[in-house]
Amino acid sequence: MIIDFHTHTFPDRIASQALDKLKSASHTRPFSDGTVTGLQASMQKAVIDMSLVMPVATNFRQVEHVNDASILVNREAGHTGIYSFGCMHPDFERPKEEIARLKNAGVKGVKLHPVYQGVDFDDARYLRILEICQKLELIVLIHAGDDIGFPGVIHASARMILNAMRSVGPLRLVLAHMGGWRRWEEAASLLPGMGLYIDTSISMGCLTPGGDGYPWQEDELALMDDARALAVIRAFGADHTLFGSDSPWGGQAETLKALDRLELTEEEKKRILCSNALDLLGLRQEECPVRERN
């Protein structure tokens, strides 16, 4: 069984608009059309059983609406194999009530994006959200490190993550993009040993240019080579690494292939592809909503 811990989908009527916007900010090519159907096709091709969707609220007014949609996505999870986290925004006024609503609806965690949300991760508004999730035993997945669409904007540095963890205490926190996008060594030196998880999304190999004429330099396209990626996984531990593609921004099949190249044992690969995710979600394999195979 394979679980992709980090994907995105958009409602059909706004998917192409959302993809265009993010495409023009990142100058990279998406690997699906951003819809639920597109993700299902990608899962079928890559033989992935379950994908977790990580919705982002870019302003506080979207929070309840996006969470309503996440709860609806989860109703279909039994045959789509697509299961959504909820979202939260640091400026949302009643985080306690809204996060409790997610918990009661069976949602397993919350996605936060300090760069898109424009707030430092160790800001009191995030700490409040983290404390609520900690009490309710919810998972938190954050975008960590730099963001391709916001060059030079720093809101999720390893130092900020360390400050937040010191303030809040033990938390089921997943750091996307191998601990900190394009700040991998910094993350790997400051953050291991606190029980934090990393996901493998958009960190190995190289970026795929969007074909929009943006003058990419070869060294700008390069992400981590195999030795660097392996060193980061070893720093956080194969037992704290989750397979994630960030589909549609990363390819599911392509990320699987990149992971497969690394010199990990078969047992470690199994953990990264499935059992770490099951443990974190508190699910047994037979309880998982998986894709219907045809």
Give the footprint of Zn ion on this chain (CB under 5 A).
Answer: 246
Give 143 or 240: the residue with its C-beta nearer to Zn ion.
143
Give 109 or 268: the residue with its C-beta nearer to Zn ion.
109
**3-state SS, residue 91:** coil
User: What is the smallest separation between the CB atom of 241 and Zn ion, expressed in angstroms?
Assistant: 16
User: What is the smallest separation between the CB atom of 161 and Zn ion, expressed in angstroms?
Assistant: 16
Burial 81-113 (b: 16+ CB within 10 A, else e): bbbbbbbbbbebeebeebbebbbeeebbbbbbb
**3-state SS, residue 118:** coil
Give 146 or 246: the residue with its C-beta nearer to Zn ion.
246
User: What is the smallest separation between the CB atom of 8 and Zn ion, expressed in angstroms?
Assistant: 6
Distances, alpha carbon 290 to alpha carbons 44, 207, 271, in Å: 11, 29, 18
User: What is the smallest separation between the CB atom of 94 and Zn ion, expressed in angstroms?
Assistant: 26
Give 49 or 246: the residue with its C-beta nearer to Zn ion.
246
State the DSSP code for 176. Answer: T
Give 203 or 268: the residue with its C-beta nearer to Zn ion.
203
Distance CA 230, CA 228 (A): 5
User: What is the smallest separation between the CB atom of 81 and Zn ion, expressed in angstroms?
Assistant: 18
Structure tokens at 286: 């037979």
Structure tokens at 234: 């070893």
User: What is the smallest separation between the CB atom of 258 and Zn ion, expressed in angstroms?
Assistant: 17
Q: What is the CB neighbour count within 10 angstroms for residue 65? A: 11
Give 205 or 264: the residue with its C-beta nearer to Zn ion.
205
User: What is the smallest separation between the CB atom of 29 and Zn ion, expressed in angstroms?
Assistant: 15
**Omega before 248 within 30 of 0, i.e. cis:** yes
Which residue's beta carbon is nearest to the bound Zn ion? 246
State the DSSP code for 293. Answer: P
Q: Using alpha carbons, select from 71, 73, 103, 57 the residue that is nearest to residue 11.
A: 73
Angle between helices 95-104 and 63-75 (to 10 degrees): 10
Give 98 or 246: the residue with its C-beta nearer to Zn ion.
246
